[in-house]
Structure 1
């Protein structure tokens, strides 16, 4: 058991480095690194947004740690999430991916990634996936003080979900889209007392 962690009244955990993080990011080295360097930082390129959208879809019903641990294998399996390559995947590729123990072998989610690659390419004529997703940035970001105050959906994530579905995307429900918005820095749901609050530079 770790003895160098102390929990604050708002549920944050202070590590041996003196920095406060939510419990999910406090004790696991991989999640801690992800939280400290990547989660909530702005992503504006098409491939980066497509990767995160795809991984959030795969995460549905699973832990994020499971997906993060498998991310290198996902990148190898899906051509580093290049939409131009993924959209060419056929039935043989689906079977190849279903046999790949390094990823989450869910046929519906694999096919969804291929579908979403084609939808991503189609969006280029209208500004692209990244611009569309970022256009749903709210006027204000949440300011949760405890994990219980962190929202799992928002009016904007519902609207983004509906818009993406109209544009041919699948596995883009409001909760998944809210998680995407958090991961991309479109909203800042770092707890107010966390050392990462405001680190994205998107919100003052």
Structure 2
């Protein structure tokens, strides 16, 4: 048995090797790069109604389809580009979700034009420091909080779509604004 397989992880990370890798290398690791945050917010919105692993497995395809989540390139997508994306089997072919990414790119650019740095904006909802929770098991972890409500409300005010409170909480966990690794998880203190 390898050391990796004997480590105690958050319960969800033991479901398969894909989740284990994601858990060990990415989940709850603080992300401050605005483009990476934008990507994860868009992908979190794609998850609505689906499992996160479905989106993670398609992430490479999303990056290819959406110009590595460069908002300036995405904002130029035309209705013909959207029609083409609706035939791309590597991503979810949901018109509303595809159009939300294009819309959100435009919102991102509007924030920049207003001198509002996306990373600073996102991190302001946790006072610019990671919130570390002390959960003993997964069933205790909430799906939304006051901070995720506030983030969703502020994003909606700026015109973003597919960013409800539950999606925002998942995004905050993913990007390390919140550390929800359970207290027995080996990775909890290695961030």
Q: Report if TM-score (shorter chain) is over 0.5.
A: yes
> Is 1:26 the counterpart of 2:14 in the alignment?
yes
> Is 1:76 the counterpart of 2:64 in the alignment?
yes
Equivalent-residue separation in structure 1 for 2:89 and 2:153 (angstroms): 33
Shift of 1:126: 3.1
Partner of 2:115: 126
Partner of 1:7: none
CA RMSD of aligned residues (A): 1.6
Partner of 2:182: 191
Judge which range, 135-144 or 71-80, deviates more.
135-144
Equivalent position SS for 1:132: helix
- 1:119 touches 1:167 (CA, 8 Å); kept in 2? yes
Go from structure 1 to structure 2 and tell me whether the alpha carbon gap of 1:21 and 1:173 turns closer, same or farther (over 3 Å shift). same
Structure 1 residue ranges (4+ consecutive) displaced by more than 4 angstroms after TM superposition: none
> Is 1:37 the counterpart of 2:31 in the alignment?
no
Unaligned runs of 5+ in 1: 5-14
Equivalent position SS for 1:130: helix
Equivalent-residue separation in structure 1 for 2:186 and 2:173 (angstroms): 16
Q: Structure 2 length as normaliser, TM-score?
A: 0.93
More helix per residue: 2
Equivalent-residue separation in structure 1 for 2:116 and 2:181 (angstroms): 29
With CA pairs under 8 Å and 6+ residues apart, which has the higher RCO, 1 or 2?
2
Shift of 1:16: 6.2
- Count of residues paired in the alignment: 187
